[in-house]
Structure 1
Amino acid sequence: MLDWLLHGTIPVAGGLLFVREVVGNLFGLGSALLGMKRLVWAWPIGVVGNVLLFTVFVSGEISGATTEPLWGQAGRQVFFAAVSVYGWWRWSQASRSGGAADGGAITPRWATWTERLQLVGLAVVGYAAAYAILTQIGSWGPQTEAWILAGSMLATYGMARGWVEFWIVWLLVDVVGVTSLVRAGYYPTAGMYVFYAFFVVIGFFVWWRAERESHTPQRVRELAA
Structure 2
Amino acid sequence: MNLLDWLLTGVVPIGAGAISVREVVGNGFGLASAIGGMRRRVWAWPVGIVGNLLLLTVFLGGVFTTPQGTTLLGQAGRQVLFVAVSVYGWVRWRESRRSGGGADGAVVPRWATWRERAGLLVVAVGLTALLTPIFEALGSWPPVWADAWTFTGSLLATYGMARGWVDFWLVWIAVDVVGVPLLLQGGFYPSAVMYGFYGVFCLVGFAVWWRTQRRLALQTSPRPTSALPAATDPSMETLG
TM-score, normalised with respect to structure 2: 0.87
Residues 1-225 of structure 1 correspond to what in structure 2 (within 5 A)? 1-12=3-14, 15-59=17-61, 64-67=67-70, 69-101=71-103, 103-141=104-142, 142-218=144-220, 221-222=223-224
Letter in 2 for 1:145: D
Residue 111 of structure 1 contacts residue 164 of structure 1 at CA under 8 Å; is this kept in 2?
Answer: yes
Cα drift, residue 62 of structure 1: 9.6
Letter in 2 for 1:150: T
State which structure, 1 or 2, has the greater radius of gyration over its C-alpha atoms: 2
Cα drift, residue 11 of structure 1: 2.4
Cα drift, residue 12 of structure 1: 3.4
Distance in 2 separating the partners of 1:27 and 1:126: 27
Q: Gapped runs of 5+ residues in structure 2? A: 228-240
Distance in 1 separating the partners of 2:145 and 2:158: 20
Bigger helix share? 1
Cα drift, residue 50 of structure 1: 0.3
Cα drift, residue 148 of structure 1: 0.5
Task: Show CA shifts across 1:33-58 (max 9, x none).
Answer: 00001111111110000000000001
RMSD: 2.0
Q: How many residues align?
A: 223
TM-score, normalised with respect to structure 1: 0.92
Distance in 2 separating the partners of 1:14 and 1:37: 39
Q: Gapped runs of 5+ residues in structure 1? A: none
Distance in 2 separating the partners of 1:146 and 1:193: 16
223 and 140 in structure 1: CA distance in 2 versus 1, 3 angstrom threshold: farther
207 and 201 in structure 1: CA distance in 2 versus 1, 3 angstrom threshold: same
User: Higher relative CO (CA 8 A, sep ≥ 6), structure 1 or 2?
Assistant: 1
Quick check: 83-92 or 13-22, which moved more?
A: 13-22
Quick check: 15-24 or 110-119, which moved more?
A: 15-24
Please give the secondary structure, in 1, of the residue aligned with 2:223.
helix
Distance in 2 separating the partners of 1:222 and 1:144: 50
Distance in 2 separating the partners of 1:224 and 1:214: 22
Distance in 2 separating the partners of 1:54 and 1:126: 21
Task: Show CA shifts across 1:157-196 (max 9, x none).
Answer: 1000000110010011011110111223433431222122
Please give the secondary structure, in 1, of the residue aligned with 2:13.
strand
Residue 24 of structure 2 contacts residue 190 of structure 2 at CA under 8 Å; is this kept in 1?
Answer: no
Distance in 2 separating the partners of 1:140 and 1:157: 25
Distance in 2 separating the partners of 1:114 and 1:223: 33
Task: Show CA shifts across 1:25-78 (max 9, x none).
Answer: 0110111000001111111110000000000001157983223x0011001000
